[in-house]
Amino acid sequence: MKQYTELQHKKVLVLGLAKSGVAAAELLHELGAFVTVNDSKPFEQNPQAQSLLKKGITVICGRHPEDLLDEGFELIVKNPGIPYNIPILQDALSRELPIITEVELAYHISEAPFIGITGTNGKTTTTTLIFEMLQQGHRNPLIAGNIGTVACSVAKDATEDQVIVTELSSFQLMGIQEFRPHIAILTNLYDAHLDYHGTFAEYAEAKFNITKNQIESDFLIYNANQQVLEPYIQRSKATKVPFDSEKRTNIGISADEQMIYWEGQPLLERSIIALPGKHNLENILAAVAACVLYGCDKEKIKEVLKTFTGVRHRTQFVREWEGRKLYNDSKATNCLATKVALDAFTEPTILLAGGLDRGHSFEELRNSMRNVKGVVAFGQTAQRFIDFAKTCGVQSTVEAENVEDAVEKAAKLSERGDIILLSPACASWDQYPSFEVRGDKFIEAVNKL
């Protein structure tokens, strides 16, 4: 860990706990700051706050006192999920108090450089691919951010011969000042988190923060097929590396039906890739570009692409059963994610879908239902999804009690050569506490077939 003395003897407020808040508070305490933690969860129900208090950190729980900022804080480190429109943060902004997230702390103490990955979709798959490729290539990577351990916890023990591969959300990136990844990746931009950011423009600006501090010796890898990115890409001072999944190009990384190319020259054959889907080809191109720039051996990259079948709960190949291939895409909690999953397959598909009823339309899926021969629906939206599937001309529709029941019914409905795909297009909370639990139940049921 670098010797970072800027916060020594300074009063710092950590707003919100969870994993990132606890890690930030402990690190700040270690760096010699006078730390106060403020969390809305009552102290007696807050084991994390109790643990911090035992370490000598001031803890205020159960509410956000209106006069808290009168104590003379010089910095606020906030949990990324806390919106800026709450009164205490509005007060902080009016006082021109700097507000950061723990990723900024990680950057200041890390001896290792960063590879930062952001975008609306594909972050986790791209991050995982990069980590796996660099690991296979003996480049000594670490993984952090949304996908793994809190970044500042990883950075504490990182050495200069390592690299921290970090998945970054727009929430995290809004709270950076000097954070500068050596390689930044912007996978794509679509409307998302507008309840937090307010407008697409504000959301895009937050994502652009990943490259705002980069210089010419750094690299920005971005999706050349998205025109919406152009105004932001042009503002970056980094060396630009576009990826194009639609045609062969002479700059950056690109692909046609047969090959992946680096600066127009053949790099590897697409036939070796185990991970299905056009969206995953984009993720692969971004990941391969990062690893090439980082000096990873081509053969090591190929080894990963031959065996990597997906991140858990994200179009994850589970097993083949009696000629059917079964995939877990429980992370698909909205129609866009399910649309992307359906478009990844050309085989006849049995779709398992449904869940929490938020009243949203399924119409966005219509053009992607062309290969769906059967639907097994569950949860609050089961009947609505079945009604929609019938208007799309789906041959067979069945209602199931839950995901486990849906697997059994899909097995009976399917034939050899079919894809059985769990991609719910809905949140899980009507029947399961999280999409992870829903996906785990699917995997258990699949393995019992």
Look up residue 290 and give its amino acid: A
Is 124 annotated as belonging to a binding site?
yes
Neighbouring CB atoms inside 10 A of 444's CB total: 12
* Residues contacting 46, CB < 8 A, separation 6+: 17, 39, 61
Our separate counts of H helices and E strands in the chain read 16, 20
The secondary element (H helix, E strand) that includes residue 156 is helix 151-157
Is 125 annotated as belonging to a binding site?
yes
- Direct distance between the N- and C-terminal alpha carbons of the chain, in angstroms, rounded to an integer: 50
> What SS3 string covers 277-332?
CHHHHHHHHHHHHHHHHCCCCHHHHHHHHHHCCCECCECEEEEEECCEEEEECCCC
Q: What separation in angstroms does the CA of 383 have from each of 93, 249, 401?
A: 47, 47, 12
Is 333 annotated as belonging to a binding site?
no
Closest CA to 141 of 311, 291, 297: 291
The secondary element (H helix, E strand) that includes residue 114 is strand 114-118
CA pair distance 433, 243, nearest whole angstrom? 37
Is 123 annotated as belonging to a binding site?
yes
Q: Which residue has the tokens 């399917």?
A: 414
Contact at 8 Å (CB) between 415 and 363?
A: no
Is 62 annotated as belonging to a binding site?
no
Q: Annotated binding residues, as ranges?
A: 119-125
Q: Annotated binding residues for ATP, as ranges?
A: 119-125
